[in-house]
Structure 1
């Protein structure tokens, strides 16, 4: 079983040597996504809440390209630039995903200029 690169125009084009996602069998790893609007290639205006929502939309687009949804996501890793942004990120995340939530790790890290949040996801795809 080989690894298959996942690519959709509905999410931002990678800026480095990686795929938007990688699939092997029924597992799909979505690469870290940020609050970049795929139509403009620029970060959305606003703060961490707006970037979190855009980031989750980008992940959703990659999931959909493989016939999946957030209901198939079992693990999420969130990286935020500032600890003070946690409540706003968490509120936007909860509003977008709803319960039951996947498992999640959240860490405070340095991110690219202007980026306030980066999120990746691991999904177990439905059998077709």
Structure 2
């Protein structure tokens, strides 16, 4: 059964799509750009600030989706400023530090993103009863 989900903690979609879709234990969070949850406007300050906002929005929405970062399988990052990847990575590492196991990740350079954003990230989760199983 397919279930669509929305979180009141983040801006509502501006276009026709589902922010999060769940089928069984798999959750797909649509690509997020750096919208301020209060104003609904795109976050200023470049790729680092945009990435920080996207990750903050994700963290705010996770409780409404019934997920944690431990459920995160892969993140796909799209950016129009690949030459500034170090700023994206710095914002990423502020969330996925040594206390949090990072998911798989892909980063792709693109020519344009919605709303003139410089970063968009989509997230795939798998809800599991198994927690903190680390393979190194």
TM-score > 0.5 by shorter chain:
yes
Q: Unmatched 5+ residue regions in structure 2?
A: 130-136
Give 1 or 2 for the bigger CA radius of gyration: 2
Stretches of 4+ aligned residues off by more than 3 angstroms:
none
Deviations 1:7-64 (A, max 9, x none): 0111121111211100111111010001101210101221111110110122223322
Q: Is the 8 A contact 2:42 2:115 kept in 1?
A: no
| Aligned residue number for residue 19 of structure 1 | 18
Q: Is the 8 A contact 1:31 1:120 kept in 2?
A: yes
Q: TM-score normalized by structure 2?
A: 0.86
Q: Is the 8 A contact 1:49 1:88 kept in 2?
A: yes
Corresponding position: 1:103 with 2:110: no
- Cα distance in 1 between the residues matched to 2:128 and 2:64: 13
Aligned-partner SS, 2:84: helix
Q: Is the 8 A contact 2:20 2:27 kept in 1?
A: yes
Quote the RMSD (CA, aligned, Å).
1.4
| Aligned residue number for residue 64 of structure 1 | 63
Q: TM-score normalized by structure 1?
A: 0.91
Q: Is the 8 A contact 1:70 1:97 kept in 2?
A: no
- Between Structure 1 and Structure 2, how many residues are aligned? 126
Matches within 5 A, 1:21-40: 21-40=20-39
Q: Unmatched 5+ residue regions in structure 1?
A: none
Q: Is the 8 A contact 1:26 1:125 kept in 2?
A: yes
What is the CA distance between 1:88 and its match in structure 2? 0.4
